Structure 1
């Protein structure tokens, strides 16, 4: 469990509620500190492959080593989120490709080989504006808005230096610089809040300068979020949704496998879904461990 932004207090509440159901919780099992010996994945003296369930919720701390062991664990014991769905939603292209083919509307996107710059130039002429996105980025890191061919020509050499094999771009959507973040746990709606971009920026991510505000969810965005979570297979999902002003429709922008709880500051401003989310997660853990036993 992530420890910043009040995550340590959330962890204690989850552990307490699990204990009330006679479920022992071992904390601090960070796969960063784990190693493999024979048939066991060991961490802090614990054989993790002998656990009834592994709950991973360390946003922004996933390394390739952690992901590698996470995948191995998922083959032996139940994990939340299950690794296949988590790995899927860590990749923006794979997620959007699946959503679009399942009837969920997303921004138009293109995936091109790095040597296929002529197609990127074709897209910018057609769309006028597009956004370059690292397929495995989070928090708005690496997002680059491309307004014209000159900007694209400036960006391509930089991306080539990063030894990228392909480019993923999305059509820039004319929206009101706000979004919905809808939290779903085990197929049920948990909570909603809004985020808005700061000043002239277009990114709503808090790590990119955006801010959180109270926002009521309507039936349409909740239904859209539930469908997106179901399609990706995430037990716990945070679905980002924007409104396309030109087409007058809602679009799924991203599906996140580690949606943050409200921070203490956000709770003071009125975001009150933490306890409901904790209860739903505890129910989910209880159900999955019961099935295993």
Structure 2
């Protein structure tokens, strides 16, 4: 029997869905806390990477479901453990470098831009005064995002210079990175495409509701199934490939002022609850089945 491990942060709908899909596929799946990962170097157990009493270097594949919060040391060690597993031949999805790149919005867009893909004008830095200059260069209307973040949390739109001054100095004071994107005038919705091994498995359109401009389903956006056109598919697949992701949630948005689609973000640990609900696609089963094929 094929045996996989899913590294998780707590239990929830996605963990339950993976366990359900594993049972349907006759796959043994261990859901293991990422915070319990340990590794040995030297001695009889040298090279062994474990979590929750399971030797990860002995399973057929590992799914990174969620990276829990932690100190810099903890996060670096977790990534090191994933790299060790990859080095000894255990398929890790997503690969450590893809997870590392996707969690950092600046690095994500840097890699995507190098592939010649369209992205919003973006500035990142550490100085409030430099941020204010960038604010003006970006047209005085920007979206400020946490460098590390998801589900639309902590994102604000700023078009007032005094508010920008206050926000940027607060971020500088808390030793945060300032990450600014030019506000994109869009049709009131964005697009989420789920890419799996170089093809689009499914897609949805997310619309903002109740006067909210953010479209994320986690904060009240409305999702509906959407059939992507070839251009959107090519763009999503190329964005996932730029990060080296085996699967990814790629967010696109239409720029009404400049025309065409741009890549907003790539999530290498994407959720799929809304996508599965509106499309009827069994995303968890497709993911585990593809990993099983890769592990053979």
TM-score by length of 2: 0.84
- Give yes or no for the alignment of 1:143 onto 2:155: yes
**Cα deviation per residue 1:191-237 (whole Å; 9 max; x = unaligned)?**
01111112222111122332222322222111110111111110011
Match of 2:229 among 215, 218, 222: 218
- Give yes or no for the alignment of 1:257 onto 2:263: no
- Give the direction of change, closer, same or farther, for the CA distance of 1:263–1:245 in structure 2 (3 Å limit): closer
Q: What are the within-5 Å matches in structure 2 for residues 1-293 of structure 1? A: 3-5=11-13, 7-17=15-25, 19=26, 25-38=28-41, 39=46, 40-58=48-66, 61-64=68-71, 65=74, 68-76=77-85, 77-114=90-127, 117-124=129-136, 126-164=138-176, 166-263=177-274, 267=277, 270-274=278-282, 277-290=283-296
Residue 106 of structure 1 aligns to a residue whose secondary structure is coil
Structure 2: any 5+ residue segments left out of the alignment?
A: 1-5
Per mean C-alpha deviation after superposition, the further-off stretch among 281-290 and 218-227 is 281-290
**Cα deviation per residue 1:219-256 (whole Å; 9 max; x = unaligned)?**
21111101111111100111001000111210111101
What is the alpha-carbon distance in structure 2 between the residues aligned to residue 263 and residue 203 of structure 1? 16
Structure 1 residue 67, shift from structure 2 partner: 5.8
Residue 3 of structure 2 is matched in structure 1 by none
Q: How many residues align?
A: 277
What is the alpha-carbon distance in structure 2 between the residues aligned to residue 281 and residue 90 of structure 1? 20
> Does the 8 Å contact 1:186/1:280 carry over to 2?
no
**Cα deviation per residue 1:65-96 (whole Å; 9 max; x = unaligned)?**
36632432332332110010111011110111
> Does the 8 Å contact 1:32/1:66 carry over to 2?
no
Structure 1 residue 145, shift from structure 2 partner: 1.1
Residue 127 of structure 1 aligns to a residue whose secondary structure is coil
What is the alpha-carbon distance in structure 2 between the residues aligned to residue 219 and residue 98 of structure 1? 22
Structure 1 residue 138, shift from structure 2 partner: 0.9
Structure 1 residue 31, shift from structure 2 partner: 1.7
Q: Alpha carbon RMSD of aligned pairs, Å?
A: 2.3
- Give the direction of change, closer, same or farther, for the CA distance of 1:236–1:106 in structure 2 (3 Å limit): same
- Give the direction of change, closer, same or farther, for the CA distance of 1:263–1:13 in structure 2 (3 Å limit): same
- Give the direction of change, closer, same or farther, for the CA distance of 1:193–1:8 in structure 2 (3 Å limit): same
Structure 1 residue 62, shift from structure 2 partner: 5.0
- Give the direction of change, closer, same or farther, for the CA distance of 1:74–1:122 in structure 2 (3 Å limit): closer
> Does the 8 Å contact 1:34/1:42 carry over to 2?
yes
